[in-house]
């Protein structure tokens, strides 16, 4: 399974989906996070909580055995294509750049995507049901 930063932030902020997201990650054989997705989450948490936000992110990633996957050329092409097809201002999904990185990793690994929100439901990505 691929995890979008929106799901990680929901866990860290104790949002209503926190426990189900943790359970789904625990039950997943492998839980993948794109390296740009890691940077996105670290920027959000760093802006709000400084160094402690980054430490909390790293602790969560370690505790849940989330694998940070390097971004590669195939994913770059898939992310670019995703924005052209589903990007903000072009499609009801309104994917932003960070969303496109998660989309690309899910597509390139043929894994479902765990996310919070309504953006990916308008794409052709396989979603994790919860």
Domain ranges in the chain?
2-122
pLDDT of residue 89: 78
Taking a C-beta distance cutoff of 8 angstroms, is the pair 39, 128 a contact? no
For residue 1, the model assigns a pLDDT of 98
**Domain 2-122 bears CATH identifier 3.40.50.1010:** yes
How large is the average pLDDT for residues 24-45?
97
pLDDT reported for residue 128:
97
Interval 95-121 mean pLDDT:
96
What would the pLDDT profile of 78-97 be if each residue is shown by its tens digit? Answer: 999 999 999 887 777 889 99
Q: What is the bridge-based pairing of β-strands 113-114 and 66-69?
A: unpaired
Contacts of 56 (CB under 8 A, 6+ apart): 12, 45, 49
SS (H, E, C) 70-127: CCCHHHHHHHHHHHHHHECCCCCCCECHHHHHHHHHHHHHCCCEECCCCCHHHCCCCE
Mean pLDDT of 62-67: 98
Question: What is the reported pTM?
Answer: 0.94
Mean pLDDT of the chain: 96
Token pair listed for 18: 């926190």
Is 4:41 a contact under the CB 8 Å cutoff?
Answer: no
């Amino acid at each position: 399974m691929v995890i979008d930063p929106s799901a990680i932030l929901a866990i860290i902020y104790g949002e209503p989906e926190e426990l189900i997201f943790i359970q789904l990650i625990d039950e997943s054989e492998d839980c993948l996070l794109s390296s740009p997705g890691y940077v996105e989450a670290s920027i959000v948490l760093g802006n709000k909580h400084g160094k402690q936000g980054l430490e909390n992110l790293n602790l969560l990633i370690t505790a849940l055995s989330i694998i940070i996957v390097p971004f590669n050329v195939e994913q770059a092409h898939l992310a670019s294509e995703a924005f052209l097809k589903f990007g903000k201002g072009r499609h009801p999904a309104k994917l932003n750049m960070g969303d496109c990185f998660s989309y690309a990793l899910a597509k390139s690994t043929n894994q479902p995507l765990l996310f919070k929100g309504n953006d990916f439901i308008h794409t052709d990505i396989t979603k994790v049901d919860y």
